[in-house]
């Protein structure tokens, strides 16, 4: 089994007509996983004691204040048209943070977890919102594992169709957090070229594997088995975090890759195997993208089935 972490506040971030990152994304995933029964929900208490410090460790105070004031004023967007805000967006963003921190506490004890949250996070930079994202959930969790739980090496692998620019930039000068990404390129947000390998002390702790539009299962599996997994294995992290985006699915309206459902299952199996080998099974997946509402819940379940099947 795998523990499911979520917070009802994540459903309260309202979306304007035509906006793809809608509450139904999360609601349908939760309904499907509840019916499946192999991912029991954990209790997440609002107001994690380290939430404010964890966010402030990566996001600037000016940005956090600006985000809060924009919501309180009733502004319609924050920083870009890709980031509409409503009266509950601030609360939803903190619901996601409370969730990933509670999940990180569980991962530190050896659990395998899936954090089903929104808004997503991997595009959020230190000082601005981008691409539907406000706080960088996976990055905040990784930094919390380093600072609060004393881990020396944490790895993040992002398989969303869009490059996790925010996550890369937050850690690219450091050697204690390894960031790997497979993504469509060239594509939004414009980052993620293979030449981007980190800076200064972080040189070599970033791995980007860009994939051309139309790339299907075979190319991803080759990249995973020949580049990404060996690099993660060589880094030997004490916890493996996954930015789990499902918009590389062949029918996703915002993606141009052609992955099948079976590839998400394969990802789950291979990542669970790696986590078992290098970090005592500490595998922490955080929901990012995925906008084909008809198929998204099944894709998430297939990925989690892959994780569980490894232990079957």
Torsion-angle region of 262 (φ positive above 0: left; ψ -120 to 50: alpha; else: beta): alpha
**Cα(232)–Cα(278) distance, integer angstroms:** 9
pLDDT of residue 46: 85
pLDDT of residue 44: 86
Using the structure block, give the residue that is written with the tokens 């062949």.
250
Model pLDDT for residues 238-292, shown as the tens digit of each residue: 999 999 999 999 999 999 999 999 999 999 999 999 999 999 999 999 999 999 9
pLDDT of residue 98: 98
Shortest CA distance to 192 belongs to which of 202, 178, 180?
180
Model pLDDT for residues 61-74, shown as the tens digit of each residue: 999 999 999 999 99
Q: Residue 251 in 3-state DSSP?
A: coil
Q: Are 1 and 40 in contact (CB under 8 A)?
A: yes
List 13, 122, 123, 183, catalytic entry: 123
Whether 312 shows a pLDDT value over 80: the answer reads no
Please give the average per-residue pLDDT across 106-116, as a whole number: 96
Helices 261-278, 296-311: crossing angle, 10 deg rounding: 40
- Structural domains of the chain in order of their starting residue, each with its CATH number: 3-311 (3.40.800.20)
Shortest CA distance to 7 belongs to which of 118, 153, 109?
118
pLDDT of residue 255: 97
Please give the average per-residue pLDDT across 157-178, as a whole number: 98
Using alpha carbons, list the distances in angstroms from residue 272 to 106, 282, 289.
Answer: 16, 9, 21
Whether 45 shows a pLDDT value over 90: the answer reads no
Confidence band of 310 (pLDDT split at 50, 70, 90): confident
pLDDT of residue 6: 97
- Residues above pLDDT 70, as percent of the chain: 99
Q: Which helix (H) or strand (E) holds 209?
A: strand 206-211
**Cα(85)–Cα(82) distance, integer angstroms:** 10
Q: What is the mean pLDDT of the chain?
A: 97
Whether 214 shows a pLDDT value over 80: the answer reads yes
Shortest CA distance to 301 belongs to which of 35, 43, 106?
35
Confidence band of 311 (pLDDT split at 50, 70, 90): low
Active-site residue flag, 123? yes
Please list, in sequence order, all residues whose beta carbon lies within 8 angstroms of the beta carbon of residue 257, skipping any fewer than 6 positions away: 161, 184, 211, 213, 214, 215, 216, 220, 248, 249, 250
Whether 126 shows a pLDDT value over 80: the answer reads yes
Q: Residue 295 in 3-state DSSP?
A: coil
10 Å Cβ neighbour count for 91?
A: 16
**Cα(297)–Cα(246) distance, integer angstroms:** 10
- Residues above pLDDT 90, as percent of the chain: 97
Q: Own/partner pairs for 41-44, CB < 8 Å, 24+ apart?
A: 41/3, 41/4, 41/5, 41/6, 42/3, 42/4, 42/5, 42/102, 42/103, 42/106, 42/113, 44/5, 44/6, 44/7, 44/98, 44/99, 44/102
Please give the average per-residue pLDDT across 204-210, as a whole number: 98
Please give the average per-residue pLDDT across 41-48, as a whole number: 89
Shortest CA distance to 235 belongs to which of 279, 170, 281?
279
């Amino acid at each position: 089994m795998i523990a499911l972490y979520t917070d009802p506040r994540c459903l309260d971030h309202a979306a304007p007509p035509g906006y793809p990152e809608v509450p139904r994304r999360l609601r349908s995933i939760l309904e499907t996983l509840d019916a499946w029964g192999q991912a029991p929900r954990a209790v997440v208490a609002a107001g994690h004691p380290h939430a404010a410090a964890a966010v402030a460790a990566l996001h600037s105070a000016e940005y956090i204040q600006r985000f809060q004031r924009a919501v309180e004023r009733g502004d319609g967007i924050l920083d870009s048209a890709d980031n509409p805000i409503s009266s509950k967006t601030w609360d939803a963003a903190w619901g996601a943070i409370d969730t990933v921190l509670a999940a990180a506490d569980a991962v530190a004890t050896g659990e395998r977890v899936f954090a089903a949250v929104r808004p997503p996070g991997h595009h959020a930079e230190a000082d601005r919102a981008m691409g539907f994202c406000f706080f960088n959930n996976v990055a905040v969790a990784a930094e919390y594992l380093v600072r609060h739980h004393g881990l020396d090496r944490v790895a993040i692998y992002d398989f969303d169709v869009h490059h996790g620019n925010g996550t890369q930039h937050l850690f690219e000068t450091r050697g204690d957090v390894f960031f790997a990404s497979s993504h469509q390129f060239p594509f939004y947000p414009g980052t993620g070229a293979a030449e981007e390998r980190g800076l200064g002390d972080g040189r070599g702790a970033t791995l980007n594997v860009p994939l051309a539009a139309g790339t299907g299962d075979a190319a991803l599996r080759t990249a995973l088995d020949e580049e990404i997994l060996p690099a993660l294995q060589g880094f030997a992290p004490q916890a493996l975090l996954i930015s789990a985006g499902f918009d590389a699915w062949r029918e996703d309206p915002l993606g141009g890759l052609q992955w099948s459902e079976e590839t998400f299952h394969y990802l789950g199996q291979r990542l669970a195997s790696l986590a078992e080998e290098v970090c005592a099974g500490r595998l922490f997946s955080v929901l990012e993208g995925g906008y084909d509402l008809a198929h998204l819940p099944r894709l998430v379940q297939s990925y989690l089935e892959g994780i569980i099947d490894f232990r079957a």
